[in-house]
Amino acid sequence: MSRMLPGTRALRTFEAAGRHLNFTRAAAEVGLTPAAVSHQIKEIEEQLGIVLFTRTSRSIQLTPSGALLLEAAAEALDTLQRGISRARRIARNPAHLHISTSARFATNWLLPRLPRFRAENPTLELTFDIADEIRDFAVDDIDGAIRFGTGNYEHARSDRLFDTVIAPVCSPKLIESGARLEEPRDLLHHTLFHVDWKTGGMVWPNWRMWMAAAGVNDFDDGRCVGFPDSSHVVQAVIEGGGVGLADLNMIANDLADGRLVRVFDIGISVAPEYAYHLVYPESSSDDPRILAFREWILSETDRLSSR
């Protein structure tokens, strides 16, 4: 007699448990309690008449049957997710363009320029997926993305948008307080904020690097405070009275509105192979929506570089 197959929710629970080999971690991933995960696995075993895990007081292991089913479940869920993504694209308004980008880039660079995009492309509906994670175009309902990196992504094309220049900035209140900021060495008397981040062989420009470029060779970084994100640096500068290293392109509005003031003309660039890129699938290189967005954003970066 044929047996009913487990539903997709049960399969997701089983796939997470089999991947982690830990009901507690699987529970955290799928939003259940460990007891509920254990109960759901038991139901699948009873439904299929197969033992999927061997259990001891300290660990669980997949049985040979469980390992085979785990591989099949993972493939089935991936195929289903890809199918759902394609179906959503087909169901969407053909004039709808969905772009993934980080909150920092969206807030500080993209959103202030959107009125020009809408004026130039009134028939396109542009929406955003705000995330720092790299999206999979085959799985996620995404048409394109703006990402910081080398621009090398499998089965995708990328256009370099602009170089990233890091320079010191402070709050105008610090200047108004009479703080001495006439030469780079004056910074040694202030709290210095920077982004503490590296990826691969690239280190995000920090104060030691900036001081070397400024000719301050006896720099002691004891007064430096590192943050994981540049938005934290900007907030610390505005509220904390120190001086921060910030990406000039990401704080252009703060500088224009007088919330921040650039200190000294010395700027340092990130590693040359790293930059913001517009990324989109190779299969979409002739998509008129992508082409319109690409033309617009490249014209905006040209406008930026011509200043």
Say whether 144 sits in a helix, a strand or coil.
strand
In this structure, which topology does domain 93-163+273-305 adopt according to CATH? D-Maltodextrin-Binding Protein; domain 2 (3.40.190)
Say which residue the tokens 């038991």 belong to.
42
Q: Where in the chain is CATH 1.10.10.10?
A: 8-89
Q: What is the pLDDT of residues 282-296, one digit of tens each?
A: 988 888 999 999 999
Q: What is the pLDDT of residue 90?
A: 67
User: CATH for 165-269?
Assistant: 3.40.190.10
Q: Are 11 and 41 in contact (CB under 8 A)?
A: no
Q: What is the pLDDT of residue 80?
A: 81
pLDDT tens, position by position, for the chain (307 residues)? Answer: 456 778 889 999 999 999 999 999 999 999 999 999 999 999 999 989 999 999 887 889 999 999 999 999 988 888 787 777 777 766 665 788 999 999 889 988 999 999 999 999 999 999 999 988 777 887 788 899 999 988 888 889 999 998 899 999 999 999 998 888 999 999 999 999 999 998 877 899 999 999 999 999 889 888 899 999 888 999 999 987 899 999 999 998 899 899 999 999 999 999 888 999 999 999 888 889 999 999 999 999 987 765 5
C-alpha triplet 141, 80, 129: angle, nearest 5°: 15
User: CATH for 8-89?
Assistant: 1.10.10.10
Q: Where in the chain is CATH 3.40.190.10?
A: 93-163+273-305, 165-269
Q: Are 160 and 304 in contact (CB under 8 A)?
A: no
Integer angstrom CA distances of residue 85 from 43, 79, 88, 130, 146: 30, 10, 5, 17, 19
Instruction: Give the predicted TM-score (pTM) of the model.
Output: 0.69
Cα 228 from Cα 263, distance rounded (Å):
22
DSSP characters for 174-201?
HHHTT---SSGGGGGGS-EEEE--EETT
Q: What is the pLDDT of residue 32?
A: 92
Cα 282 from Cα 295, distance rounded (Å):
16
Q: What is the pLDDT of residue 261?
A: 95
